[in-house]
């Protein structure tokens, strides 16, 4: 297998973007990455997206973006694994470059959620759940996460207020990220007074509906420009039952455990080696389960880490260093690529105010569905 390096990145601000279409957002991120890598056009295009068919009435995003950004005749396709589409697209591209079939590839994650009325977006997001066993019973995606959070609080004796620290930390980091949806801090009081969405998940437990696009160029050759060599040292993916009801232990994300374990094995490291962790905090309960399944603490202990300040960018396990899904925003199919762009910036030492102290390894964990499809990537500065 060939080595795979990240040689260029690009991102657009996450926001409610009423001025740009889906292809304009994706194209902008793509061209920024192409400019950054400075190798001309890469050999193929992989696009991660979840809901363009339902929310934007446009499929064929691979071809659409290839056409839009001038990828004359080169191969292109779309990858879908719900909110994990971004990392799944990245992983498919990594395997394509590793195989020698191509020398370089562009991966774009893009999502434009605001084209649809919010009831339709709720329905679109629910397509990530099991239609027969969950969505058709009226369970929205937030409701599924609320069931998990209820159970977690009961099982491990946490109060809702104990989860505030996850969101407060995410917002504190996002203040310094010009690409973040929310560039403001939040307080414990604001968290506790926030509007209830699906008990116990309130507005400040949840990532926002938003638009965004991020892009990465990978190559079998190390970067020849100003960038330090950032290598993909692990790419692993695992699945679980699509429905919560079929899981024996719904509070343990078995696919995340497997995916993280495989990732550590590929990289030959342990959780203690990870200098920065971009986790999938779509909801504060997912932040907790993400940390536990990746081996950063025992089951039921993640809120303790958050409340002790260990998750801060200058703490022991820096997470959501650019705001995470909660505050940078969660344009679903784009999120996995934003995470990898952010890790690249951290490993390059270019993260500014929230720069983690000389990280060698960075890990990103992208989750599709309620823990049903999980892709882990570990990057290393060589």
Of the residues 9, 25, 92, 311, which one makes contact with a second copy according to CB under 8 A: 92
- Cβ–Cβ < 8 Å for 58, 64: yes
Residues 6+ apart with CB under 8 A from 339: 86, 87, 278, 280, 364, 365, 366
Is the separation of the CB atoms in 199 and 148 below 8 Å?
Answer: no
* SS3 (DSSP) at 36: helix
| Candidate ranges 26-34, 66-74, 106-114, 178-186; the one touching a second copy (CB under 8 A) | 66-74
Among 184, 225, 245, 246, binds a second copy (CB under 8 A): 246
Q: Residue 362: in which H helix or E strand, if any?
A: strand 361-368
Of the residues 171, 280, 330, 377, which is catalytic? 330
**Using an 8 Å Cβ cutoff, are 326 and 320 in contact?**
yes
Residue 56 makes contact with a second copy by CB under 8 A: yes
Largest CA distance in the chain: 57
330 is catalytic: yes
**Site size for a second copy, by CB under 8 A?**
68
Q: Give 12 or 76: the residue with its C-beta nearer to a second copy.
A: 76
Counting contacts by CB under 8 A, is residue 81 touching a second copy?
yes
Q: What's the chain's length in residues?
A: 382
- Is residue 131 a contact point for a second copy (CB under 8 A)? yes
Please, which residue, 128 or 216, has the CB nearer to a second copy? 128
Of 83, 171, 210, 280, the active-site residue reads 83
Regarding 62 and contact with a second copy (CB under 8 A), the answer is: yes
Query: CA–CA separation, 337 vs 55, rounded Å?
Result: 20
Comparing CB distances to a second copy, the nearer of 79 and 341 is: 79
CB distance 47 to 26 below 8 Å:
yes
Interface with a second copy (CB under 8 A): 1, 21, 23, 44, 50-54, 56-64, 66-67, 71, 73-82, 88, 91-92, 95-96, 98-101, 123-124, 126-132, 135, 235-243, 246, 254-255, 258, 368-369, 372-373, 375
């Amino acid at each position: 297998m060939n080595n795979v390096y990240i040689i260029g990145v690009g991102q657009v601000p996450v926001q409610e973007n009423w001025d740009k279409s889906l292809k304009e957002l994706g194209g902008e991120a793509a061209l920024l990455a192409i400019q950054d890598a400075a190798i001309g056009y890469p050999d193929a295009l992989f696009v991660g997206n979840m809901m363009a068919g339902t929310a934007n009435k446009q499929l064929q995003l691979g071809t659409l973006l290839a056409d839009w950004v001038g990828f004359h005749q080169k191969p292109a396709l779309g990858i879908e694994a719900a909110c994990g589409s971004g990392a799944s697209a990245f992983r498919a591209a990594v395997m394509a470059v590793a195989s020698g079939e191509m020398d370089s590839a562009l991966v774009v994650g893009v999502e434009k959620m605001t084209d649809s009325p919010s009831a339709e977006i709720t329905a679109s997001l629910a397509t990530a759940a099991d239609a027969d066993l969950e969505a058709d019973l009226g369970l929205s995606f937030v409701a599924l996460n609320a069931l998990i959070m209820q159970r977690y609080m009961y099982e491990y004796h946490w109060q809702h207020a104990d989860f505030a620290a996850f969101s407060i930390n995410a917002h504190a980091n996002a203040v310094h990220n010009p690409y973040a949806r929310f560039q403001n801090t939040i307080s414990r009081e604001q968290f506790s007074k926030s509007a209830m969405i699906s008990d116990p998940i309130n507005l400040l437990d949840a990532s926002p509906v938003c638009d965004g696009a991020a892009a990465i160029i990978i190559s079998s050759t190390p970067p020849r420009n100003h960038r330090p060599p950032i290598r993909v040292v692990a790419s692993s993916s695992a699945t679980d039952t699509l429905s919560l009801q079929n899981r024996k232990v719904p509070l343990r994300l078995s696919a995340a455990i497997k995916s993280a374990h495989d990732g550590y094995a590929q990289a030959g490291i342990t959780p203690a080696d990870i200098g920065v962790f971009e986790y999938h905090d779509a909801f504060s309960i997912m932040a907790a389960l993400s940390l536990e399944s990746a081996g950063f603490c025992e089951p039921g202990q993640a809120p303790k880490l958050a409340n002790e300040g260990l998750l801060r960018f200058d703490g022991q396990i820096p997470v959501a260093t650019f705001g995470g899904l909660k505050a940078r925003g969660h344009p679903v199919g784009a999120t996995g690529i934003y995470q990898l762009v952010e890790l690249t910036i951290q490993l390059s030492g270019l993260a500014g105010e929230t720069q983690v102290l000389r990280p060698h390894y960075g890990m990103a964990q992208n989750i599709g569905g309620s823990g049903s499809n999980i892709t882990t990537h570990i990057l290393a500065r060589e």
